[in-house]
Amino acid sequence: MTKVALQEFLTPPAEMARRRGPQDEIVLSSRVRLARNLEGCPFPGTAKKEQRQKVLGTMLPAVESLKLMQNGFSTAMDALTALDKTILVERHLISREHAARNVGSGLVLNKDESVCVMINEEDHLRMQALLPGFQIKQAWKLIDGVDTELEKSLDYAFSPVFGFLTACPTNLGTAIRVSAMLHLPGLVLSEQIEPIIQSVNKLGLAVRGLYGEGTEALGNIFQVSNQMTLGEAETSIAERLEKVVKQIIEHEENARGTLLERSPKTVYNHIGRAYGVLSNAHSISSKESMNLLSFLRLGLELGHFPGVDRSVVDELFVQTQPAHLQRMHTGRLSGEERDLLRADMLRQQLRNMSRPVMQAPPGQADDSAEKTN
């Protein structure tokens, strides 16, 4: 285990944004999460403080000693600041529920943050594999390996009939949650997102905006995940989700193609305005910047910003979030102060990015990229 502060340990957002994965123009990341509990111990929600601490005392060394966790990061939740915890949430490494935990809960991260284990969240163990791009199978293999390794030293609560026993019966059985984070500006712009969500729901999969409230999805980012965990094997759940994601990718690609063909001005307008506001604003909310960054990202994908690497935008998706902004400043920022600083950062980061070129044939975007570099 590394003995540094969390914020020193975490990969800088710029480096994070350069990590690529298959089909990451649409699939931002793939995640598989497993829930496990120890036999003979009350679930964290019922357990008394001493019982939770005992479980943490068993779990931490077991997880830390995994080969995969060499040079990783391990901590009790009460050793983290509120800011640390929010940063972890913004990086999708822990749940908001876990961020609210203190004494008796813990966290172990591996070196590249692809594996994260939460101890005493709603269940004794919540372990996730998070990979960039469309890598559901790989994420499953990764976390399956961690689970099999841990099983050697931990006695899981398991029933041959009900499978892995979890605090909430909605997670019972495989206790698996497979999810993919998708960037779908084409489906949103062409107003096809609602019917798509509905048909995906009918397949027993949940779709929700990753940021924002209710059905609103900030940044046109959606998360697709399985809901049912009992009565279907892990691999089958993962394959089903994979198939559905493939179809959504196809729909998104078609939507982009059709939009460019039928109403290119709508697309150009969104991209142009996003560029205009993001690179010139002096105050901007996290909500607005998220939505505009989505169109900037789309513009990059479509080849309208020759010579600019997409990681510039992906980094900003992370950096413009409240806790990430706050960490670069001493003294607590108010919402308005954050909006000013967010705009400053955006102008600074985008200062070398030229206006979008709307006539560039998408096929030649790569060539011009090399020349301008």
Partner 1 sequence: MLCCICQEREATVHLTQIAGEKMQKVDLCEECAKAKGVNDPAAFSLADLLLGLGASQEVEKASGRKEAPCPSCGFTHADFKKTGRFGCPVCYEHFSDGLATLLRSMHKGVRHVGKVPKRFKQLKKALDVSDQLKTLQRKLEKAIHEERFERAAELRDEIKSLTGRTEGVEAP
- Binding residues for partner 1, per CB under 8 A? 37, 39-43, 45-46, 95-97, 100, 122, 144, 147, 151-152, 155-165, 167-170, 172-174, 176, 204, 213-214, 227-235
Minimum distance of partner 1 from residue 261's CB (angstroms): 37
Please report how close the Cβ of residue 144 comes to partner 1 at its closest, in angstroms. 7
At its nearest, how many Å lie between partner 1 and the CB of residue 62? 14
d(CA 306, CA 357): 8
Give the residue with the Cβ less far from partner 1, 233 or 328.
233
CA-to-CA dists, residue 351 to 275, 308, 368, angstroms: 11, 12, 19
Nearer to partner 1 (CB atom), residue 160 or residue 363:
160
Q: Which helix (H) or strand (E) holds 290?
A: helix 286-301
Q: Are 106 and 60 in contact (CB under 8 A)?
A: yes
- CB 246, min distance to partner 1, A: 21
Q: Which two tokens stand for residue 213?
A: 């409230």
Q: Is 187 exposed, middle or buried (0-12, 13-18, 19+ CB in 10 A)?
A: buried
| Nearest distance in Å: CB 209, partner 1 | 10
Report how far residue 164's alpha carbon sits from residue 320's, in angstroms, rounded to the nearest whole number. Answer: 39
| Closest distance of CB 5 from partner 1, Å | 26
Q: Looking at beta carbons only, is 3 or 152 nearer to partner 1?
A: 152
What DSSP string runs through 30-80? Answer: EEEEEEE-BTTS--TTTS-HHHHHHHHHHHHHHHHTSGGGTT-EEEEGGGS
Instruction: Look at the block and give the residue holding tokens 């997409």.
Output: 310
**CB nearer partner 1, residue 99 or residue 343:** 99
For partner 1, the closer CB: 40 or 335: 40
Which is nearest to 270 in space by CA: 297, 248, 250?
Answer: 297
The position carrying tokens 């900003």 is 316
The CA–CA distances, whole Å, from 144 to 183, 212, 337 equal 27, 31, 44
Cβ closer to partner 1: 212 or 307? 212
**What is the residue whose two structure tokens read 């919540």?**
126
Least separation in angstroms between CB 305 and partner 1: 33
Q: Which is nearer to partner 1, 174 or 294 (CB)?
A: 174
What SS3 class is residue 272? helix
Q: Which of 155, 253 has the CB closer to partner 1?
A: 155
82: burial class by Cβ within 10 Å (0-12, 13-18, 19+)?
A: exposed
What is the closest distance, in whole angstroms, from the C-beta atom of residue 9 to partner 1 in the complex?
25
